[in-house]
Amino acid sequence: MDGAVTTTLHGPVAELLLDRPAKHNAVTPAMAAAIAEAAHALDADDAVRVVLLRGAGERAFCAGSDLNSLAAYPSTWHFRNRVEYATAIRNIRKPVIAALQGWTLGGGAEMALGADIRIAAEGTRFGFPEVTRGWVGGGGASQMLPRMIGTARAMRMLMTGDPIEATEAQALGLFDQVVPQADLLAAAQAMAAKIAGFSPVAVQSVKASVRMAMEAPLTAGLLYENEMNVLCFSAGDHLEGIRAFAEKRGAAFSR
């Protein structure tokens, strides 16, 4: 197959790798289906607490959908029913950390937006060039980007198709960290390991609550957050957290 999607488990952290470096990890329909399948499997696997998403090589995280594949759909109906891989990443309920480098464009950038924490290598170029090819992206950029950086900045990025540098993306709040290329994987793995050590119920409740904040009115969001708080206490992990605090040790959440 031209390109692959592989999953490697490192304890409670699952590394999801886009492996087509010769083509900037551009996503073919087969890869899109593999991403969606892997995302569903990782979400259902209780042994996995955090997903680390990255691309092979140093030239690109992912340049988006393979353009030749986009031109090969037999009909508009088939294109409409394609597997939307960025949505599959966004729908993972567990924490997703994206390790970005080089070209991060189009559907690749939309996958990154669907992650919860984005750590980028110096020199990463982040953008949405779809308008320069004659279409609007279908993986969520027009909906998520304005919520994250404001309407004016989102309009500029989406209407010009111009990518931005890692330093600007960090200043806008899109990237959590910018590190040297040589340190990228270690930084992402360290973040994943830290989060994986916490209660999965608590971490997933944080994610659900913050996602709700992007959509709900304040009063509804506050009510939802309180329900997540009650859920955490009903799960029982708080008892281990309290014991660990009293005993001056790190908590060991086994769930």
Indicate which residues carry an active-site annotation: 110, 130
Q: How far apart are CA 178 and CA 226, in angstroms?
A: 34
Separation between Cα atoms, residue 22 and residue 105, nearest integer Å: 16
CA distances, 147 to each of 100, 138, 202, 241 (Å): 21, 16, 24, 34
244 — phi, psi (to 5°)?
-65, -40
Spatial distance between the Cα atoms of 106 and 132, rounded to a whole number of angstroms: 11
142 — phi, psi (to 5°)? -70, -20
Distance CA 49, CA 190 (A): 14
Q: CA torsion sign, 214 to 215 to 221 to 227? A: negative
Is the sign of the CA dihedral 212, 213, 219, 222 positive or negative?
positive
Write phi, then psi, for 76 (nearest 5 degrees): -60, -35
Provide the residue type at 193 as one letter: A
Residue 227 burial (10 A CB sphere; 0-12, 13-18, 19+): middle
The number of helices, as runs of H, and strands, as runs of E, in the chain is: 13, 10
Task: Please enumerate in sequence order all residues whose Cβ is within 8 A of that of 204, keeping only pairs 6 or more positions apart, or say none.
Answer: 93, 94, 95
